[in-house]
Structure 1
Amino acid sequence: MNQPDHNFPRLILATESTFKRELLERLSIPFESVAAKIDERPLAGESPADTARRLARQKAEAVAAAHPGAWVIGADQVIALGDTRFSKPKTAERACAQLAELSGQTHALLTAVALVTPGGAVSDDLAKYQMEMRALTSAQIAQYIAEDQPLGCAGSYMIEAGGIRLFRAMRGDDYTAIIGLPLTRVHTLLERAGFFDVA
């Protein structure tokens, strides 16, 4: 865990995800990470994009409430094929079923990030990707799942590992969004809110 120093205000990433922590480290800003415990179920009639934005904000707000005076970043990712959403499979059987359904299709990957300032101001942004998956055989799916074990990944793939070979094309403007934390959006939100001016 990175520890804050005197050059920057206290920054907290509202997650326990190793992948998100590793991404944020690329910005060379000291931070802490604190898991946000919220209900992540979508609301009735809520669009995938709205779900991602709401959950990112709720994660940031929950951690900010427990750590007054800190700047807090929250993030959430929703994978959707039409009206169907794909959560973390948790089992190999469910992962196989998810990849079989996504096989040969182009699905949406929506990654929201939210920032809560010490004064309670909240801002957010959303990165959108179109993920064109190759047509996969059952054997290819089973082999991939055995190799990467993506049971804790929404959509049942890890793009930062062997999951890259499952795709024909990916269309978006910040590849770190696919892994779970769009760094261009994070830096812009911090900049606009005056985080770097406080240092």
Structure 2
Amino acid sequence: MPTQSQIVLASTSAFRKALLEKLGVDFITCKPKTDETPLENEQPQQLVARLAQLKAQAGAKLHPNSFIIGSDQVAVVKGVVLGKPGTTDKALQQLAMLSGQAVTFYTGLTLISPDQQLKTIVEPFVVHFRSLTQDEIKAYVQKEQPLNCAGSFKSEALGICLFEKLEGRDPNTLIGLPLIALNEMLIEFGLNPLLV
């Protein structure tokens, strides 16, 4: 692939990197320096759209004349934005709160083309949790240690046992990068992953 058309994932997330590898395109990653503090009264969809765009723009400064991908995600239940738990106690609390609930994940995705076209979308995905016992929650957290995951679970692994059903266009969205939408955007901007 020519240098001027390289693909850059403006993220250091191992999950997003593994997802992008599914498209079979050569890419590099970079760490975008962005302030992720929510603005006052900012809605979750606005937050992820703004942060995805800021990350992509930060990546574009580091790698001009490239396709730059930025993404950000939040989980929302009953109007509360869920962060990464960080500790076992917080993970147990989060999962107890999620038991029997529907959680909406909003994933912001921005693509900047080499000629500076920019497109941002927000892709929703809903996870319906089954009613969980305290023993199930404790066992799950102990086995999977999901302390760096918003909502305290890993859907691509044992976390699938926590769910009743999943609703959304693209299961990759839940893990952090909506590949169907990304593929559509790349094609719109002149790069078809199937033809690279």
TM-score if structure 2 supplies the norm length? 0.93
**Residues 1:130 and 2:126 are matched in the alignment:** yes
Contact kept? 1:8, 1:30, Cα under 8 Å: no
Aligned to 2:53: 57
Partner of 1:23: 19
Contact between 2:173 and 2:179, CA under 8 Å: does it hold in 1? yes
Q: Residue 14 of structure 1 aligns with which residue?
A: 10
Q: Which amino acid aligns with 1:190?
A: L
Tell me which moved more, 164-173 or 116-125: 116-125
> 83, 89, 94: which one pairs with 2:90?
94
User: Is residue 8–residue 29 contact of structure 1 (8 Å, CA) maintained in 2?
Assistant: no
Q: Give the alignment partner of residue 34 of structure 2, picking from 6, 31, 38.
A: 38
Q: Do the aligned residues in 1 keep the contact of 2:4 with 2:66 (CA within 8 Å)?
A: no
- Listed as ranges, the gaps of 5+ residues in structure 2 are none
- Structure 2 partner of 1:161: 157
Root-mean-square deviation (CA, aligned residues, Å) is 1.9
What does residue range 68-147 of structure 1 map to in structure 2 within 5 Å? 68-147=64-143
User: Which letter does structure 2 place at the counterpart of 1:166?
Assistant: L
The aligned amino acid for 2:174 is: I
> Match of 1:101, as an amino acid?
M
> Aligned partners of 1:61, 1:99: CA distance in 2, in Å?
34
1:178 aligns with 2:168: no
For the residue of structure 2 that corresponds to 1:88, the secondary structure is coil
Number of equivalenced pairs: 195
CA contact (8 A) 2:4 2:65 kept: no
Contact 2:5 2:114 in 1 (8 A): no
Q: After the TM superposition, which parts of structure 1 deviate over 2 Å for at least 4 consecutive aligned residues?
A: 5-8, 118-121
SS in 1 for 2:58: helix
The normalised TM-score by structure 1 is: 0.92
Match for 1:134: what amino acid? R
* Cα distance, 1:59 vs structure 2: 0.7
Query: Are 2:40 and 1:47 equivalent residues in the alignment?
Result: no
C-alpha distance in structure 1 between counterparts of 2:87 and 2:33, whole Å: 22
